[in-house]
Amino acid sequence: MYALKMSGVSFVYEGAEGHALDDISVSIDEGEFVTVLGANGAGKTTLAMLSNGLIPHAIKGTLEGSVKVFGYDISKHTVAQLSTLVGMVFQEPESQLFCMSVEEEVAFGPENLAIPRDELFKRVEWALDLVGLKGLNERSPATLSGGQKQRLAIAAALAMRPKMLVLDEPAYALDPVGRIELYALLRSLTEKHGMAVLLMDRDSENILEFSDKVVLMNSGRILTVAPPSEILRDIRNFRAIRVPPPQIFEIASLLNSRLTGVDFSFTTLDEAEAELLSRVPSLPRRGDTR
Amino acid sequence: MTEDHSQGGPPVAQPPLAQAPQANFVSPKTVAIYGVLTALTAAITIITVIPFPPTKGYFNLGEAMVFFSALIFGWRAGAICGGVGSAIADVIIGYGYFAPITLTAKGVEGLVTGTIARLNGGKKWSSVLGIFCGGSCMVSIYFLAEVIILDTGIGYALSEMLTVNIPQVAIGGTLGFVLAHYVRKSIRLPK
Amino acid sequence: MKGVFDLYTARDTFLHRLDPRVKILAVLFLSLLGFIMTNLIPLFTLLCFIILLLYLTRSTFSKAYFALKFVLRLMVLITVLWPLFDQSGTPVLAALGPIKITEPAIWRGLTSAIRIGCLATVWYILMFTTTQRDLVRALVKMGLRYDFGLALAISLRFIPTFGFTIESIKDAQRARGLEFDKGSIIRRSKNYIAVLIPAVVYALRTAETLSLSLQSRAYGARKDRTYMREIRMRSSDLVSLVIVVLLFAIPAVAKFVFGAAI
């Protein structure tokens, strides 16, 4: 079964002129890690909010086409009902954490779902353990670091036991290390727990390592859907969506454009080393450092 | 609906909720906006303290938020966010015994301002009149409460009124008016 | 700066462990006691009792100082200003033109100052020993609607956040040459507009995400919402409650039934 299936979806915000989404069709399998890449205004947030029913239930506008999560039509179920299928994490870490302790934050969702009390304790411990915040139960969310805040937001979503997690640029405010930790956590959710992950991002640096599938979006349309290795074959993919490509890939295409007679295609550091060394055979080598 | 993951097993989703009766809570938007306006009123009350040299008093700009909430979001928001926000500020900075009086005084202030400002189709002059009436209510309630309930004596109540409350209303009212004007013009407000 | 937004001090005292509902009631009853007492000696005894309790909260010195500074200033002001406006009674101790200072007025001023001192300090017992979280929980348990309690909890949660936001906007505007600590009141207040507008815009944006976040986490989904933590009344809390009630009831009965002068 598809985790998420959108067919022919268009959306115009109430009071807005243009289409925020224009004839989108995309599907995500269960247990799949999908990254949606696009610049500001590409429609990523709209796409995210459609997947758990915030659009059209909380945010008004004209919606065409059908959106189904795990077979359920989002327009026929409330956001609260869908919350047990789709967990949502927003970009801004501060404003989505509204409780006075970490523990309450995680328990908030399940409490609303009227989960029995002893089960609540289990869920909170389970979710905090999963995101690596175990033992911080009594801390105030406001005092956590940026990375911890986002992981807490993930735990709060996980505690409702969804089968898919949707994240709208969760790593935007994080440093590179925090970002990789966050992506690794998401990857482990797909691998160990079979969850689907839909990640909205405008940072292409880590897509190869973590995603199964990449969706390229620009001004409300989907340009390409392909595995990351395929996306990385052509730098024009990135120009089209106004997102900088991974730096290593940029170097390859820079070299290709400046030098004649080469065609570098490396996408990782290891590949780069191998290809570059094979092209400069004339220089003496130091001992094998690796 | 029961599921076993006591071993910390993989997440098992419940089927989308059966038609359980929903709580009849106020809307999430209301909770969010009221919560945030209350917090902002309290925060501004606590940290924007301006000395008033002529009388060596101190006053704060929290008033501006009471008027702002009332002008933009109506009498209910003015009364609740203004009243509760200012009362929380009192409790936090240690005027806890004043909190009930503040709750009433600022609550009435927000209520009156919000109500009058909406009269006559919400023209500019309605806002000004609203702020004037609301502010007057606030000042009088404080004065009466100090004299009658807290029994601080007319001397203290009078000095408090002249050095703190009246300048606070005058400046807070002006700022609140300007703030509402700018915000109404520049951003799309959540309904 | 955290201290400014939260008077709570983490300790493990009897007062910290007490059910917050009992503490709220204690504050109310002790305040009422302050209101029904009219004589100097009982009021002074009450003040001493409250200060003893305050000492037992084992709060930090800086917080206690912060608290008592306000109270003391208030008490001095009332004592000094009272006789100037209350000219009744004899003997007249001093007279200057139309103003005369009488002895009973001085005593009345002092009594009122001590009463205000009681009312003001008794709150700190609650605030020093109870987390904001427990306060909200107690209020909900005492009958406040859950959704209102949630809005209250949200506002408490965001006060420090907005406090820091306002401070950083102030710093940014200071770097552009706006003064907040110098100049006339009018100029200073005007400069604050450049702080309040971005702060309000930030707050309203926060509200928007907040509302979406609440919905994504099933706010209001079911009538039979459960609660992970609940405050429970233990036997020691009950005993304390009885003591608190008696503390109020005995003087009240003495005054209103037997006409004792307190």
Q: Do A112 and C212 touch (CB under 8 A)?
A: no
User: Which residues of chain C make contact with B96, given a CB cutoff of 8 A?
Assistant: 27, 120, 122-124, 126-127
For the domain spanning B28-186, the CATH number is 1.10.1760.20
Place of tokens 């005027």: B95
Q: Where are the beta strands (DSSP E) in A90-237?
A: 164-168, 196-201, 213-218, 221-226
Say which residue, C188 or C156, is predicted with more confidence: C156
- Whether residue A192 has pLDDT greater than 60: yes
Mean pLDDT of chain A: 90
B14: confidence class by pLDDT, cuts 50, 70, 90: low
Q: Do A98 and C158 touch (CB under 8 A)?
A: yes
Is B5 in the A-facing interface, judged by CB distances under 8 Å? yes
Is C136 in the B-facing interface, judged by CB distances under 8 Å? no
Residue C84 and residue C95 in contact, taking contact as beta carbons nearer than 8 Å: no
Tell me the C-alpha distance between B134 and B67, whole Å.
Answer: 8
Beta strands A2-13 and A61-69, pairing class: antiparallel
Tell me the C-alpha distance between A34 and A207, whole Å.
Answer: 9
Say which residue, B15 or B164, is predicted with more confidence: B164
Nearest to B16 among A72, A161, A195 (CB): A72
Is C120 in the B-facing interface, judged by CB distances under 8 Å? yes
Tell me the C-alpha distance between B11 and C260, whole Å.
Answer: 68
Helix or strand holding residue B115 (H, E): helix B99-117
Exposed/middle/buried for residue A57 (C-beta within 10 Å: 0-12, 13-18, 19+):
middle
Helix or strand holding residue B87 (H, E): helix B83-93
Structure token pair of residue A181: 């930790």
Say which residue, C137 or A261, is predicted with more confidence: C137
Exposed/middle/buried for residue C82 (C-beta within 10 Å: 0-12, 13-18, 19+):
buried
Q: Which chains touch C (3 or more CB pairs under 8 A)?
A: A, B
What per-residue confidence (pLDDT) applies to C236? 94
DSSP helix/strand/coil, C43: helix
Torsion of CA A234, A237, A242, A247, to 10 degrees: -30
Residue B133 and residue B141 in contact, taking contact as beta carbons nearer than 8 Å: no
- Whether residue B2 has pLDDT greater than 60: no
pLDDT in tens, B106-127: 999 999 999 999 987 778 889 9
ω into A176 cis (within 30 of 0)? no
Residue B124 to chain A, least CA–CA distance (Å):
26
- Whether residue B57 has pLDDT greater than 70: no
ipTM of this predicted structure: 0.89
Which residues are within 8 A (CB) of B79 and not within 5 positions of it... i.e. 6 or more apart? B70, B107, B108, B110, B111, B114
Is A118 in the C-facing interface, judged by CB distances under 8 Å? no
- Whether residue B49 has pLDDT greater than 80: no
What per-residue string of b and e applies to A1-28 under the rule 16 or more CB within 10 Å gives b?
Answer: ebbbbbeebbbbbeeeeebbbbebebeb
Tell me the whole-structure pTM to 2 decimals.
0.89
What per-residue confidence (pLDDT) applies to A287? 65
Which residue from A minimizes the CA distance to B39? Answer: A98
DSSP helix/strand/coil, C98: coil
DSSP helix/strand/coil, A288: coil
Which residues are within 8 A (CB) of A16 and not within 5 positions of it... i.e. 6 or more apart? A61
User: Which residues of chain A make contact with C229, given a CB cutoff of 8 A?
Assistant: 103-104
- Whether residue B10 has pLDDT greater than 50: no
Domain boundaries, chain B: 28-186
Tell me the C-alpha distance between A156 and A150, whole Å.
Answer: 10
Q: Do B13 and A85 touch (CB under 8 A)?
A: yes
What per-residue confidence (pLDDT) applies to C1? 41
DSSP letters for A30-85: TT-EEEEE--TTSSHHHHHHHHTTHHHHTS-EEEEEEEEETTEEGGGS-HHHHTTT
Torsion of CA A96, A213, A244, A273, to 10 degrees: 120
Helix or strand holding residue A29 (H, E): strand A21-29
Say which residue, B67 or B49, is predicted with more confidence: B67
In the 8-state DSSP scheme, what is residue C18?
S
